[in-house]
Structures are given as C-alpha cells and as structure tokens.
Structure 1
C-alpha cells in the first residue's frame, strides 16, 4: 500500500517520530537520526523533522529527491524573534552541504537552525548547519561544517541556540516598542472604531497587543478584501508604520479574502472567529473541551481550505517550496472530514454520558445554572457561594470547561450550581454547535442565574446577547434571576433600577468578589426551590432509611408515624424530592 509512491511502512516510521521528546541538549538523538537516515536510504527522498526548543519533534515530512515539504512552523510570539524551531533534513546524494534553497528556508521561516545531513544507503556521512545573525540592519547567514556525525551529535543544542539568539536580537527605537513575546496587531472593523474595544479585549486575552486600529463605515462589503481598495492601502501603510505582524478583522473572513489580504499586506491575517477559537484552544483543559475546540476549528477550516492552501504555498524557498496543489487539498479535505466524523462520534459519546448524569441528577437535585456574558464574574460568584477555588482571571473566557459545585441553603437543602462557558457577541456558530452538549446544562436547569457586569457601560447589549443565545438553545423561558454584579465598582444604579422596572425581572444587586448581598441571592434561590412544593403523604419501607434521611434533608416533615408496613410521612416537598419517592406516595395522591 502506497501514498504518493511512498510505502505505508515508511509513513508509519515517519509518524512514529511525531511527538517524541528528545534530550533538549541534543540537536537530534541518535535514534531519531537513524530513523530518518533509514527512511532516506529506503525511499531515496529527503526527510525533514522539526524540533522545538523543548526537544519535541512537532512534525516529520518526506519529499521528492532534493525537496521536502516546507511548512510555516513557528513558536515565536513576535516577528522580531526567531521561530523557536530547528529543521534537520537529509540529502540522499550523500552531500550535507546546505543548498541555496536551504538558506532561503532559513530566512523565510526565521528558523533557529537549519541542519543538513548527507546520507548514502541509509548511513549518515557528514553534517552542516546554518543560522541567522544580525549585523546592523541586515541579516548575515552563518554556515558551519562539515562535521563528522560523532562531532555533530556532541554539540550542546541549548548553548548553541542561546548564543544564536543573543546575536539575533534587534534593537529598535521605542516609538512603538512592545514586549518581544507579544504579537503586534492592527484591528480592523467595518463600523466605528469604538466597536473594536471588545476585539481588543479578546486580543489581550490571547496574549497579543494592539498597535493600531482602522474602521470603515460600509454598508456593502468587498468580496475580495472585505474592505475597499482605498482602506486597504491605508491599512498597508499602517502595518508598515506600526511594524505590525498581525491583522485581525472583527468580521468573519472567507479563505479567499484571507489569502488576498495576506498577499497585499504581507503579514498574517485572521478574523474574530479564529481569535476566539485560539483562546478556546488555550483555555480548554478537559478532554471534552479539547475535543469540542478541535471540532470547531476543523469545521471553521473546511470551507476555507483553498484560501489557506494558497497561503501555505507562498512561503517561498527552502526544503520543498511547492504549494499543496489540488491533490494535496483533496487529501487535506478528506482527512479533515474523517477527523470531524471521529470527533463528532467522541463528543456524542461524551454527550450520552453527560445525559445519563443529568437524568440521575434530575431525580435528586435542584440544578441552578450560571449564565452570562464572558468576564461578568460567574466563576467568582461560584467560588463565593460554594467556598471553592474555581480558576478566575480578569480576562475573557478565563474558564472554559463547565464546573459544578454543591451549595447548602439556610433550610439545609442542597442545590447544585453549574458554571457555563461565557457568551459573547458574534460567538462563532461552529463553536456553539461543538459546545452544545456543554451548553445544554442551561436547558436542563431548574433555575438560571444571569450574571451581569453592572460596571460595563454596554451591559444592556450584553444582556441581549445572552438572551439571544438562550433563545437559540431553547432555554429562554426558564425561571431566571438577574444578578447585577460588581456593585462595588462605579455603575449607574439608577439606570440599573430602571432596568428592573422595564424588564419586570427578578433582579438582585451583588458583588461576587466582596460577597455583598449573596445571602439575598441564596434566599431567592431557596424561594424558587420551594416555589412548587406540595404536601404529600407517603409510606416509606423500613429498608429505605436513606430515602427517609433524604426527605428530612430536602423537605419539611409535618407528621411522621411508625406503622406496620413502614413509616408514614406527611410533608412538604418539591418536585425533585417527590419524584424520588414517587413509588411510595399514597394512592389517593398519585
């Protein structure tokens, strides 16, 4: 079985390298070197592996003679720094001397190092390496070699890369200077500049920094660039002036638009959806969260694959500079579709498991679900109500995976409070679809607490965004308490009180951080817990002592008698407690 002329066993050998962690003091381990040389000898093709500074092999590729696929690998956070990746590749002709294409790849990708090893019949012969050095305003290429394989394997990778990094650092004037580990972005919108404030918050959360913003008030969008040609020219000048290495659009872009914009601007271009997906990818910690994010990313990528494909092919120079080509795009499409189906099956299995938990919980627990705009303070509120330590940070989407905590009310009854992922304006459709099993917590909740950041001047728009998402999920008719949070900060109380009159909502003003009015919030939760309580008579078998204890803890016992066939109980219980004891309720009440 072959793939583009390459035997299956060779591809399996190559795949076995991916994810391997090497001793990061070595440029390459002897074992990894043996594998790529064996593959080179067997296939008579170049093999390249890419290693980050932690010693992890992040990819391994194979190409035709004298070529191997060049990809845009980088772990740098600034255009001014090296990529943090070294490329080690083989030359099947036995000569390790670096070619012009190798040097071009070094410059194009700003690799830490590019290393070539000559191979004859699977045996390594000699090694060369090259790196970039800064001299005045230009880059010099420094080439070293030949090295015997033993000498090459004895080189300390950490010391070498540290010295290279030292020689590469660039001193700039301070006009637009930012930390070297921050990507410098220009924000672009098609409404007013102030509408980009939230995009800036997303960028801050992702670890970048804004160096400028441009907006175009336009009713119709340009199919090729989204913005007009004049505004595109202005954006290009701004990119050069501010030395930006990233442009972020507040609107969703097509793959073709991304390709066209990157051609014109010569920097990376992403849209709001990509930025949110990137944040979610960093924040997801559970297996379920990671699966859901990957599913959303692949669904986003599928319709844009052609645009991204052309983008990948424009790197120029290096080991295998050809673009993916139509056949490669079809392979990528097929692999993405297969992975999407696999992820959907995995997520569906998790959903079934979650549904079972919900069914069991529904029979015994009153579920309260915290909802709200991202960064409204939901996790802080959960911590304060339950005395727990859910991760909290003053950034958008600080917590992603759902968290559930038990909270005791004054009456002694227990409720379960669930924290959900924060909502946001223009929340990507694929993300909502991927996280549906998580978001469905609100559908099965007995009560919603809609947490609102009262100190945010756009709180009403944020309330509307959350209400719209709840409507999409079919949870807009749930009993809801509007918890106006952060009353310890400056806010227009009169305006917020008028909101209570205008919406006829059940509103409580709180400070989750300083625990202000949380007792009132718990009282309102208890009100809803007992809202539909009814008086029931039942006879509990003596063998069901645990059920009797549960009824004591979760209801109000009015009368109790010990009878021959069991314990007679008359009490006031909610629908959850009565459902748990339904088999023992007296016949005249069923």
Structure 2
C-alpha cells in the first residue's frame, strides 16, 4: 500500500572554502544551510566541503568534483544537490547535466522558505518578485545571445523563440508585481502616518533567535514561535501600555535576518524593512546559547547599517537564558555588554527587566517639548518635526503653529530655540 504523502527529497549539501584556515567557518555555514534545507522539507543525506582557492567558472567546484558527486547521487538515489553559494545560470545548467539531479543554491533555498511561510498577499507578492528577479539574473547569461545584432548563425530556431517568449513573460510578471507592491506601500504610508502618536519599538534579530517568542511574552500576540527559520515574514504590530511611558507603545515583530540574505529579497521587502527604519527603538534579540552569537549579531548590525538604521537606539536582548549552563555565564554576558537584558521567553525570566529597559530607553532617548513654529519656513520645519516625533497636540495660532510631544534626543535640534516658556 502506497503512502498518501510523497517521501521527502534526499539532499546533498556542498560548500567550498578558499583555504584550510577557513574550513571551520564554512563548515558552520554548511550546518546552517542543512537546517535551511530541512526547513524546506528535504532530508539531508550528507555535507561535502571542498578546499578550492577559486570557484570554477563552468562548474563552481570543477568538473572532476561534479563527477564524484554524480556517483554519490546515483549510488544513494539522491534527488537534490544544494550549493552554499550563488550559482550562475550556466553553472547550474552544467552541474545538472553532469550530476543528473536538481541543483539549487543557498539563495534559492532561502527564497523557498520565504515562499513557504508567506501568508498575506503582500508577503506572497514580495517573495514571488524576489524569486522572479533572481531567476532573471541567472538566465541573463543564457539570454545574452538573443541580443546579438544582425542575426546569423546561432540566432535562429524554435529554442531561441521560446527563450524570447520566456523572457518577455518574466519581464511582464515582474512589472505587474512591482506595481502591486507600490500600491500596497502607498496604503501602508497612510497607515503609518496615523501612528505618529505612539512610541514605536521594533524587534530585530537573526532568524531563530526567538523574536516571536519574546513578542509573545510581552503581549498576547500569538505569533508562530516554532524552531523554524523565517516563520515571521509579515510585520505584526500590537499596541501596549507601559507604566512610565505617557504614550502608547507599538511593538512590532519583523522578519529575521540571515547571513547572505539575498539582495533581491531585501529589495522586495522594502515595505517590511520600512517598519524597522521608522522605529524609535530597536530590540536586538539574540540567542544567548548559540556558539556563533557574536558573529550573528554582527550580521544583523551590518544589515541594519545597510538599510540605514544604524542611528536608531538599540537594546541588546539575550534570549534563551535558560539554556546557558551557569549563573557565571549569564553574568559574564551582561558584564561584557553593558545595558543588555538577559531573558528567557520560554520561562518568563527577565521580562520585567526588559519592560523596565524599554521605559528607561524612552526616558533617555525621547525629549518632551512644546514649541512655537514661526516664519516662512515653519511649514517645512513642521513636517520635519512631525516625521520623527510623537505628536500629542498641535494648534494653529495667528503667530504660528504650536506643537507638543516627544522628540528623539538626536533630533532635538529641530525644536531648540523655539520652546514655549
């Protein structure tokens, strides 16, 4: 009797280190990639690490190594070979011809997980756009011959016509998805404009660090908190009240980062990343028990800088304190990271300290102000202030615009000299 469910694909993971010194770093990446492949529903058979100074332009690993892999694939009946690097269209085609199995790269696996967890129309459109743009970039070299002027040998035949048709359809679909996401972004700009009266706190972190679990511990949001990468693609926002903060707090969970996050995904998730850019405070959630915590924290910090968020105040939150072996390890982590908070979203330990840290951050980062804006440029100045501040009240007077609220300390110069006594 056959099973109702197909058996999972069997996958071989392949990585390349430029030298023996770098093999351990690559081995760690392969372990992470194996986890990503498993999250896609495949069964990881084995990982192979090759030391090779320069990637082979035709096969990435070289034809000889590709033939070795082909033997393994044939002998053990494997379905899939995944490479821990972006492959060009020609490399993928050459490898599949030699190996005799489907070949994917790290980027395609990450995008597949994103597609698996996309729930809303926006997330689905973002992932589909990223996938199409990546496919188009991989096929660009294979299409290049279609652009040769003058026709002649190698530019005729049904294969070329099919490629041209595929390229046109892909371009049309990319344009449609971009237009759709622009429409969604315009509606979100209106929604965000209504949230100027709140203190915006956004959770960021490496995937699987426990952001959604911390969100659940602080609220009753009920975000998925499985031990699976990228379960949160759509930002979820909840309004909270913190004793000691005189305005509402908007707490938002966002998509996790990962090393070598595909640029196409970063670009497609612009609307999602705008939520991070517009935050007043970031909670950088880190897995305190992970052996590569520091490296992963650096990856997140680099990504925040890349999207223009490195100036936003950050509280480091070390999650999973219950997995640290000793109280001394906990204390050492706090001593090495002044201002950080150590919590366990699972047990609830440290959540009161985290709430207190958010309140202290508000008091330290936000300045209460009451300013009267006058003069020819008061309109421009008003819009600049409103864009970065929490506005509690505004009044249009004969002598100007009276504005009251809280402004980040780094922007306090906008109201300096205009305060009302």
Place the TM-score, normalised by the shorter chain, in its bin. 0.7 to 0.9
Name the residue aligned to 1:416.
250
Map Cα deviations across residues 209-245 of structure 1 (whole Å, 9 max, x no partner).
Answer: 1011111111200011100233223212221232211
Aligned length: 364
Pair 1:243–1:460, CA change in 2 (3 A): same
**Shift of residue 181, structure 1, vs aligned partner:** 2.1
**Shift of residue 389, structure 1, vs aligned partner:** 1.0
Name the residue aligned to 1:396.
229
Say if 2:96 and 2:102, in contact at 8 Å, map to a contact too. Answer: yes
- Runs of 4+ aligned residues of structure 1 deviating over 4 Å after TM superposition are 306-309, 491-502, 535-538
Q: 2:216 aligns with which of 380, 383, 392?
A: 383
Q: Which runs of no fewer than 5 residues in structure 2 stay unpaired?
A: 18-22, 144-156, 373-389, 393-403, 409-417
Say if 1:406 and 1:415, in contact at 8 Å, map to a contact too. Answer: yes
CA distance in 2, matches of 1:350, 1:219: 45
Say if 2:107 and 2:262, in contact at 8 Å, map to a contact too. Answer: yes
SS in 2 for 1:589: coil
Q: Does 1:461 align with 2:298?
A: no
**Shift of residue 533, structure 1, vs aligned partner:** 3.5
Q: Does 1:433 align with 2:259?
A: no
Pair 1:349–1:374, CA change in 2 (3 A): same
Q: Does 1:189 align with 2:15?
A: yes
CA distance in 2, matches of 1:441, 1:496: 31
CA distance in 2, matches of 1:248, 1:183: 12
SS in 2 for 1:574: strand
Map Cα deviations across residues 100-130 of structure 1 (whole Å, 9 max, x no partner).
Answer: xxxxxxxxxxxxxxxxxxxxxxxxxxxxxxx
Q: Please, what is the CA RMSD of the aligned residues?
A: 3.0
Name the residue aligned to 2:194.
360
SS in 1 for 2:340: strand
Q: 2:406 aligns with which of 574, 578, 581?
A: 574
Say if 2:334 and 2:342, in contact at 8 Å, map to a contact too. Answer: no
SS in 1 for 2:201: strand
Q: Does 1:589 align with 2:415?
A: no
**Shift of residue 432, structure 1, vs aligned partner:** 0.5
Name the residue aligned to 1:487.
321
Say if 1:451 and 1:482, in contact at 8 Å, map to a contact too. Answer: yes
Pair 1:249–1:493, CA change in 2 (3 A): farther
**Shift of residue 392, structure 1, vs aligned partner:** 1.8
Say if 2:15 and 2:50, in contact at 8 Å, map to a contact too. Answer: yes
- Return the index of the structure with the highest Cα Rg: 1
Pair 1:511–1:339, CA change in 2 (3 A): same
**Shift of residue 441, structure 1, vs aligned partner:** 1.0
What are the residue-to-residue correspondences of 1:445-456 with 2, within 5 Å?
445-456=279-290
So what's the TM-score if we normalise by structure 2?
0.79
Map Cα deviations across residues 373-404 of structure 1 (whole Å, 9 max, x no partner).
Answer: 00111111111101221122111112211111
**Shift of residue 439, structure 1, vs aligned partner:** 1.0
Name the residue aligned to 2:66.
232
Pair 1:219–1:383, CA change in 2 (3 A): same
What are the residue-to-residue correspondences of 1:142-541 with 2, within 5 Å?
166=1, 180-191=6-17, 192=23, 193-305=27-139, 325-362=159-196, 364-411=197-244, 413=246, 414-490=248-324, 505-531=338-364, 532-534=366-368, 536=370
**Shift of residue 267, structure 1, vs aligned partner:** 0.6
Q: Which runs of no fewer than 5 residues in structure 1 stay unpaired?
A: 1-165, 170-178, 310-322, 539-553, 557-571, 577-586
SS in 1 for 2:116: helix
Structure holding more helix per residue? 2
Name the residue aligned to 2:385.
none
Say if 2:219 and 2:238, in contact at 8 Å, map to a contact too. Answer: yes
Say if 1:203 and 1:209, in contact at 8 Å, map to a contact too. Answer: yes
Say if 2:230 and 2:255, in contact at 8 Å, map to a contact too. Answer: yes
SS in 2 for 1:343: helix
Say if 1:455 and 1:487, in contact at 8 Å, map to a contact too. Answer: yes
Pair 1:458–1:492, CA change in 2 (3 A): farther
CA distance in 2, matches of 1:328, 1:481: 54
Map Cα deviations across residues 447-486 of structure 1 (whole Å, 9 max, x no partner).
Answer: 0000001111111111011011101000012100000000
**Shift of residue 573, structure 1, vs aligned partner:** 5.7
So what's the TM-score if we normalise by structure 1?
0.57
CA distance in 1, matches of 2:363, 2:406: 6
